[in-house]
Amino acid sequence: MSSAPVASAPMKSRINRNNLPTTLIVTLIPVCVALNIVGGYIASALRLPVYLDMIGTAISAIVLGPWWGALVGVLTNGGSALISGPVSLPFALVNVVGALLWGYGVRSWKMGRTIPRFFLLNVIVAVACTIVAAPIIVLVFGGATGNGADALTGTFLAVGQNLVGSVFSSNILTSLADKIIGGFVALAIIEALPKSLTANIDIVKATPLKGILLAVAGIVIGVLIIVIFLAINAGSGA
Amino acid sequence: MSMQAALPIAMIPGNSIIHRINPLAKLVWVVGYVVLAFSTQNIIILYSMAAFALLLAPIAGVTRPLLKGALILVPVGSSLLALQIIAPAVERPWTIVDQLGPLSLYGDGVYYGFVLLGRIVASLLLALIMVMTTHPSDLFTSFAKLKVPYTLNFMLAMTLQLIPVFQREVGIIMSAQKSRGMKGSGFSAVLPSFVPVFVGAIERVQQLSISLESRGFGSNGIKTSYRQVKGRPSDWVIGIIGVLVVAYLSTISIMRGTWSLATEITFSPLFVLVTFLVAASLFACVVLAAVLFSFKK
């Protein structure tokens, strides 16, 4: 047995651009990764129709920075690969895209200043995540995700939509609900964090979820009508 | 609310020959399996890989937990086959072999569906066997030998340690909130359950950070590990065999344009119809069972 590591020369930079000690960041990241994984289990325990497995990514991207969020995304899928096999690894790309958009959106493009702007940011994240996820779902899983949304994919296929279009159409619905609700849950969590972590972030105060849920329901129903219309059009055109 | 069973995949202690293999040699095989699985469309190779992984399970004494872990494939596998039969993810033209109401069933989809399923099954089974027979610390010690930065190693190791801790925490917080009258399900329970779990976890990180700082985390010098992982000659042999087999089969597959047997293997219309009906029914049953179970709870 060897002894514990002995401290020698300290690192050159112990404080980064966030004014947070490196050790704090090194410990915050695994916490966000674990919370991503556990968040999915809380959502299923609460019997929610959404995943909520990117809240840790959103928090780290907004509080620490987009690239730290991207690292959380990569580690989330890396950790999941150690738990449930390597097929989840390609989805790290979805997590990375979400982290970069949340991070740059709030920190650089100031999209966290008002509730409507933050709402729009979450819609952008949802659309971008679907654009990245749909081809991966088709290539790795042949369009299947193993949840109820596959029934919707099958319905779109039955009316004549192609596979990628069908996967995109069903995924955008779940993604919109998931990312918007997840984004606002992250906002509530960020507000409750110690001020030392959030002092430099220009972000609006959290709002009750009830109004957001109504807006999400409206958007999802609107998008559902559009994708059904597009699928029927694609079917009659084929 | 108990969430103890939420993550069933963990190391199963044992002293089998598979347990004693060096983690790096096992990792070579897992990576090799993924590379080979995604470079070939030959279902004989894919299902031989899955069968080989299944053969290792009784040797390692992990058959039961492995099959339990592989259950996660039922919904995705059944859905995958059903979707592929009605819309193959291969280039047109597709061959219609049967008609079921408005749905056309394609023979090409059956083959490609089995290819996709074979890839997932083979990769997952071997990866699960590796996880179930390898101590996480040994794996991270091996990563360190591969020159993976120890900060990254630390983060990954800490993540795996934190997951069960947070699961316990979720159970405690949910019980506490329910005793205060919180609903146990639905969107109204989202903020009262997520916020305390996340904020509590992040606040406690500050203590951990100070603890790391006081132990000289980030200092220069050679990093040592409590657990020592040694590579025996047999581990080298296993690793090299893995690399050679994967390199050989992958090269042949790539040279033969993924080595697909889609033209050699034809499926009867009855087989396609039965496969579709079984897969679709199985998926519908899984979804229905999940819905009923959630209402019962």
pLDDT of res. A57:
95
pLDDT of res. B295:
66
Task: Name the residue in chain B with its Cα closest to that of A212.
Answer: B187
Contacts within 8 Å (CB) and 24+ apart, B284-293: B284/A151, B286/B74, B286/B75, B286/B78, B287/A147, B287/A148, B287/A151, B287/B75, B290/A148
pLDDT of res. A16:
59
Question: Phi, psi (5° rounding) for residue A13?
Answer: -125, 110
pLDDT in tens, A61-116: 999 999 999 999 999 988 888 776 777 888 999 999 999 999 999 999 999 999 99
Burial class from Cβ neighbours inside 10 Å (0-12, 13-18, 19+) for residue B74 reads middle
Per residue of chain B (297 residues), give pLDDT as tens: 334 334 445 788 888 999 999 999 999 999 999 999 989 989 999 999 999 999 999 999 999 989 988 888 888 889 888 988 988 877 777 888 888 888 888 888 889 899 999 999 999 999 999 988 998 888 888 888 888 888 888 888 888 888 888 888 888 888 888 888 877 677 777 888 888 888 888 878 888 888 888 888 877 777 777 778 888 888 899 999 999 999 999 999 888 888 888 888 888 889 999 999 999 999 888 888 877 776 665
Interface test with A, best of B96, B155, B206, B287 (most A CBs within 10 A): B155
What integer is the mean pLDDT of A123-149?
Answer: 88
Least CB–CB distance from A154: residue in B77, B86, B154: B86
Identify whether the C-beta of residue A37 lies closer than 8 Å to the C-beta of residue A53: yes
- B80 or A148, which is more confident? B80
Contact flag B162-A31 (C-beta cutoff 8 Å): yes
Please report how the helices B190-214 and B150-179 are oriented relative to each other, as an axis angle in degrees rounded to 10.
140
What integer is the mean pLDDT of A13-29?
Answer: 74
Contact flag B76-A141 (C-beta cutoff 8 Å): yes
ipTM: 0.81
pLDDT of res. A17:
58
Tokens standing for residue B181: 């009258």
**pLDDT exceeding 90 applies to what percent of chain A?**
36
Least CB–CB distance from B7: residue in A81, A83, A145: A83
- Please report, for residues A96, B119, B219, B237, the alpha-carbon distance to residue B41 in angstroms, rounded to integers and kept in the order given: 29, 9, 48, 28
Contact flag A150-B79 (C-beta cutoff 8 Å): yes
Contact flag B294-A42 (C-beta cutoff 8 Å): no
Task: Name the residue in chain A with its Cα closest to that of B112.
Answer: A142
- Please report, for residues A85, B54, B210, B263, the alpha-carbon distance to residue A142 in angstroms, rounded to integers and kept in the order given: 17, 24, 47, 20
Contact flag B79-A144 (C-beta cutoff 8 Å): yes
Contact flag A143-B89 (C-beta cutoff 8 Å): yes
Interface test with A, best of B198, B213, B282, B291 (most A CBs within 10 A): B198
Least CB–CB distance from B195: residue in A3, A79, A189: A189
Structure pTM?
0.84
Q: For chains A and B, what is the number of CB pairs under 8 angstroms?
A: 252
* Strands B96-100 and B103-106, sheet pairing: antiparallel
Contact flag B155-A188 (C-beta cutoff 8 Å): no
Please report how the helices A22-45 and B150-179 are oriented relative to each other, as an axis angle in degrees rounded to 10.
40
Identify whether the C-beta of residue B267 lies closer than 8 Å to the C-beta of residue B85: no
Identify whether the C-beta of residue A103 lies closer than 8 Å to the C-beta of residue A69: yes
Give one word for A13, left, alpha or beta, with left for phi > 0 and alpha for psi -120 to 50. Answer: beta
pLDDT of res. A4:
45
Identify whether the C-beta of residue A126 lies closer than 8 Å to the C-beta of residue A180: yes
Instruction: Report the alpha-carbon distance of residue A160 to residue B10 in Å, rounded.
Output: 43
Least CB–CB distance from A34: residue in B34, B72, B159: B159
Tokens standing for residue B179: 């005793």
Alpha carbon of B251: minimum distance to chain A alpha carbons (Å): 21
Task: Name the residue in chain B with its Cα closest to that of A30.
Answer: B159
SS3 state of residue B163: helix
Contact flag A79-B7 (C-beta cutoff 8 Å): no
SS3 state of residue B98: strand
Instruction: Report the alpha-carbon distance of residue B29 to residue B233 in Å, rounded.
Output: 16
Neighbouring C-beta atoms of residue B104, cutoff 10 Å: 17
Least CB–CB distance from A188: residue in B87, B191, B226: B191
Alpha carbon of B60: minimum distance to chain A alpha carbons (Å): 18
Name chain B contacts of A53, Cβ cutoff 8 Å.
none
pLDDT of res. A179:
93
Helix locations, chain A, DSSP H: 22-45, 55-63, 66-84, 92-107, 115-141, 149-158, 163-192, 195-198, 209-237
Instruction: Report the alpha-carbon distance of residue B97 to residue B107 in Å, rounded.
Output: 6
Name chain B contacts of A29, Cβ cutoff 8 Å.
155
What is the C-alpha radius of gyration for chain A, rounded to an integer number of angstroms? Answer: 20
Q: How far apart are the first and last CA of chain B?
A: 11
H-helix or E-strand spanning residue A6: none
Sign of CA dihedral B137, B139, B140, B145: positive
Task: Name the residue in chain A with its Cα closest to that of B82.
Answer: A154
